[in-house]
Structure 1
Amino acid sequence: MEDSSVNLAYEDGIATLTLNRPDSLNAMSGRMMRSLERRLDEIERLSGLRVVIITGAGRAFSAGGDLKEFEEALSASGTKLVDILRYNQDILQRVEDIPVPVIAAANGTAIAGGLELLLCCDMILACEGALIGDGHVRYGIVPAGGATVRLRERLSPSRAAQLFYTASTINAEILAAWGLVNEVVPKDRLMDRARELALEICRNSPEAIRAIKSLGRTQSGDRTRQDRLRMELEKWSHHVSHPDLAEGLRSFGVRKAPDF
Structure 2
Amino acid sequence: MTTVLETYRQGKVQWLCFNRPNVLNALNTELLNALCEALEAATADPEVRVIAITGAGRAFCAGGDLKFVLGELQGEGNDGPDGVASSVPAFTALRNCPKPVIAAVNGPAVAGGFELLLFCDVLFAAESATFADGHAIYGLLPAGGGAAVLPRRIGTQRAKALLFSGEPVSAATMRDWGMVHEVVPDDQLRATVEQYCTKIADKSPLVLQAMKEVANAAWDHDEDSGLRHEMLLLRNHMNSKDFHEGLTAFTEKRVPVFEGR
> TM-score normalized by structure 1?
0.92
Judge conservation of contact 1:89–1:146 (CA < 8 Å) in 2.
no
SS in 1 for 2:120: coil
1:226 aligns to what? 224
Matches within 5 A, 1:29-48: 29-48=28-47
> Where do 1:209-248 residues align within 5 Å?
209-221=208-220, 223-248=221-246
Equivalent-residue separation in structure 2 for 1:125 and 1:248 (angstroms): 29
User: Which residue number corresponds to residue 195 of structure 1?
Assistant: 194
SS of the aligned residue for 2:86 comes to helix
Partner residue of 2:170?
A: 171
Q: Is the 8 A contact 1:27 1:65 kept in 2?
A: yes
Partners in 2 of 1:159 and 1:15 — Cα distance? 33
Query: Residues of 2 paired with 1:252 and 1:49: CA distance?
Result: 25
Cα distance per residue 1:66-95 (max 9 Å; x no partner): 101221233349xx9995313303311211
Amino acid aligned to 1:102: V
Q: Cα offset for 1:151?
A: 1.0
Q: Provide the rounded CA distance (Å) in 1 between the counterparts of 2:147 and 2:85.
A: 15
Q: Show CA shifts across 1:192-221 (max 9, x none).
A: 111111012123222111111122334443
For structure 1, list consecutive stretches of 5 or more residues without a partner in the other structure: none
Question: Does the CA-based 8 Å contact 2:52-2:102 persist in structure 1?
Answer: yes
Alignment of 1:1-260 (within 5 A): 4-76=3-75, 83-221=82-220, 223-260=221-258
Look up the equivalent residue of 1:231 and give its one-letter code: H
- The residue type paired with residue 5 of structure 1 is V
Q: Is the 8 A contact 1:4 1:35 kept in 2?
A: no
Q: Distance in 1 between matches of 2:106 and 2:65?
A: 19
SS of 1:147's partner is: coil
- CA offsets 1:117-171 (integer angstroms, 9 cap, x no match): 1111001111111111111100000000112122111111111112111100011
Shift of 1:103: 0.6
Secondary structure at the aligned position of 1:159 is classed as: helix
For 2:102, what is the secondary structure of its paired residue? strand
With over 3 angstroms needed to count, the CA separation of the structure-2 counterparts of 1:15 and 1:42, relative to structure 1, is same
Amino acid at match of 2:212: K
CA contact 2:69–2:82 (8 Å) conserved in 1: no
Maintained 8 Å contact 1:107/1:130: yes
- Give the counterpart letter for 1:179 in structure 2: G
Distance in 2 (CA, whole Å) between partners of 1:85 and 1:76 is 16
Q: Distance in 1 between matches of 2:2 and 2:223?
A: 46
- TM-score calculated relative to the size of structure 2: 0.91
- For 2:45, the aligned partner's letter is L
Aligned AA for 1:15?
Q
Whole-angstrom CA distance in 2 between matches of 1:41 and 1:191: 23
CA distance in 2, matches of 1:130, 1:103: 16
What SS is found at the alignment partner of 1:257? coil
Displacement of 1:108: 0.4
Moved over 4 A (4+): 80-83
Distance 1:185 1:225 in 2: 34
What is the alpha-carbon root mean square deviation over aligned residues? 2.0
Unaligned runs of 5+ residues in structure 2 are none
Q: Which amino acid aligns with 1:44?
A: T
